[in-house]
A and B are shown apart, each in its own frame.
Chain A
């Protein structure tokens, strides 16, 4: 899994400004900064809100689906990271309330910001109202009576493919295709409805027909959805490869153990006795069959997970695949580590090049630190052989 990138906090905030810029720009250009256009959705003759929202949802969904099919991302892991859990009761009730607020104010919380930015005073009032409403409910939500309602119908992270009892592997792809088909069908229906209503429409309403670009979008979405299914049908190698742990050489791991152990979570998968006898500093001993008990799917993705087997790991364990952050596997497993970091290196032959000497020093240092034993110091380096003929004579004045 290459994505999400998850940049450091401050850089993420800089990215937020850029992403937000695109968000605000597109919303405004779609007409979402104008209350009349948003409200017209609910009077039938201008379906812009519906068209924009659903094509955005379908586009982003197909993007993630295709990225998962190519092994660049993991749909379920990304969704677990990005989406709040499902609380059915407050979500349905709040949805109705938000819809009511939408038609009363003419905006939704996001579009009211854009309206405010483009100078609309009603947008500014809506922004202020949303601030008040948010604080009001935040004041109430944890109080005894309200908390039961606020947390009612808690289904955890619950997805459409689970609702329809599809397998977690193929589910997202099948549901994505179905959603795309439904959306394109609805788009065609919306176009028809607009044309039917155009005759007796309100003079101020500006319907937005699909036109040729719209038809290209329909075709593009359908193709992308089909491609997602092909990715599913294709040999699973690509998907396995996508979630296969990245290899980490013993040297690289040693450096990280020294330099930034707080960014690592090392899990030793060997049997308990072997692990308790000898392990990498900071490693947790979790035999492979107990890996599920760690709850890695819900762990914080801040640290990189490093899996250590007895030898090279054949495949990604199921439980580790759910880890939201990066997953590495120690190349060659603990055997390689033992050979690299716990065995004293052979001293280089006298007269070996400087790079060999340097490598020896490094390994000896690592071995010393990991075993708590100092090796004998490397043999003294012979002085560099005299290069060319030297100028005869000595002293300062002879030259």
Chain B
């Protein structure tokens, strides 16, 4: 049976489901979801291979390496990868491809994805959490910083959207 890869859950029901996952995390762990911490730990693991003493001598890296919450995020993201695979497989979206607008080539799209990733990585370290850890988890607990961050994210996105229309439209 062919599945329609453009069919998604109703956004509000998906939101409630996501909220319940977040709520479970609050109740069980006393902390929210996150993602960028796991990326940082991956980077630290790579650095450990090439320059083992460097991590220990950089306070921010050493702190992240020792943090139990960051370890927790690594396992959470491992689970998210598994959940993503199962969800994509059962909805017909599990296939190797490059997603982009019709007017841009694959190479340019991949380069932009990498560049955007670097921007977001630096930004998420600055804001002590990304859209998952800060906006979602902090927003639900009414932190002022999280709400300011969330509005800034939407602001930044809308501000640049016009310049990047060739990538998506």
Contact = CB atoms under 8 A, between A and B. Distances in A.
A131 B84 contact: no
A329 interface: no
Given A33-B84, A43-B165, A53 B27 contact: no
Interface of B: 6, 8-36, 38-40, 42-44, 46-47, 58-61, 64, 68, 71-73, 75-88, 91, 93-102, 109-132, 134-161, 164-165, 167-169
Interface size class on chain A is 35 or more
Interface in A1-54: 3-7, 9, 12-31, 33-37, 39-43, 47-48, 50-54
Interface in A159-198: 159-163, 172, 175-176, 179, 187
A222 to B, nearest CB: 13
A22 B128 contact: no
Given A42-B161, A63-B23, A96-B155, A15 B11 contact: no
A109 B91 contact: no
A90 B113 CA distance: 23
Given A97-B120, A101-B120, A187-B12, 14 more contacts: A3-B26, A19-B21, A54-B15, A55-B18, A55-B19, A75-B141, A84-B145, A94-B152, A114-B88, A117-B84, A117-B85, A125-B114, A127-B39, A160-B147
Contacts, number: 586
Contacts of A117: 80-85, 88
A133 B123 contact: yes
A52 B14 contact: yes
A388 B93 CA distance: 79
Give chain A's interface secondary structure class.
helix
Contact of B148 (A95, A102, A204): A95
A276 interface: no
A100 B157 contact: yes
B131 to A, nearest CB: 4
Nearest to B47: A135
10 contacts: A9-B68, A22-B17, A26-B17, A28-B91, A43-B169, A93-B126, A99-B160, A104-B115, A131-B121, A213-B10
Contact of A102 (B34, B96, B111, B153): B153
Contacts of B83: 20-28, 114, 117
A75 B27 CA distance: 11
Contacts of B161: 39, 42-43, 103
Nearest to B19: A59
Interface of A: 3-7, 9, 12-31, 33-37, 39-43, 47-48, 50-61, 63-64, 67, 73, 75, 78-79, 81-88, 90-110, 112-123, 125-139, 141-142, 150, 155, 157-163, 172, 175-176, 179, 187, 202, 204, 206, 208, 210-211, 213-214, 217-218, 220, 301, 324
A228 to B, nearest CB: 12
Nearest to A87: B145
Contact of A99 (B86, B95, B125, B154): B154
